[in-house]
Amino acid sequence: MRLILFFRVPSIGLGVMNLLEIIESHLGEIDLWPSFILAYLFNDHPSPVRTDRLKKVIAFFYGNDVPQALAYQFYNVCNEKASRFVLEQFHEWYYVWRTHRCKPHVAVYWNMRLGKFIHINGSLLNQSEPVLPEVLEIDFGIDNTRFLRRIRSKLELVRRLKV
């Protein structure tokens, strides 16, 4: 098992990027992310008996093509409760979703490009299958979480991390 802890991203005369800038280059501005993902990312306490929220965050990263090591690194910085268990969950779910070939509907995630919930399907199946019926109302951004101050404070620390 190998984990790459830091990414070097080619910059075009911009110098070194911070971790938040790198994540936003994959997912878009953090205030455009679903509020439930932000709440789970910054405030969840995952455990072996309660993994549903962690799985939703991992599916969000996986479905939006964030590399596994980068996704884990960002989660680890944002959530003080990250542990070996969380690392194992990232490895497990990325592996399961990457290696399924024919199984439909193995998970659901919010697709940032399409702006809707999409199924994670096996690699031989449609990768842009929307969840039906479509969810019509969803909150976005930090302001729509119950953890506004905590998240903003933590983001200040994340912005200082240069990679």
Confidence of residue 11 (pLDDT cuts 50, 70, 90): very low
Q: Could you tell me if 75 and 41 are in contact, meaning their C-beta atoms sit under 8 angstroms apart?
A: yes
Sequence-distant (6+) residues with CB within 8 A of 117 are: 108, 109, 110, 111, 130, 131, 134, 135
Flag whether the pTM goes above 0.85: yes
Q: What is the pLDDT of residue 136?
A: 82
Q: Does 95 have pLDDT greater than 50?
A: yes
Report the distance separating Cα 43 and Cα 142, nearest Å: 12
Query: Taking Cα atoms as reference points, which of 41, 92, 94, 43 lies closest to residue 65?
Result: 94
Q: What is the pLDDT of residue 15?
A: 55
139-154 pLDDT tens trace = 999 999 999 999 999 9
99-157 pLDDT tens trace = 999 999 999 999 999 999 999 999 889 889 999 998 888 999 999 999 999 999 999 88
H/E segment holding residue 134: none
Report the distance separating Cα 9 and Cα 24, nearest Å: 13
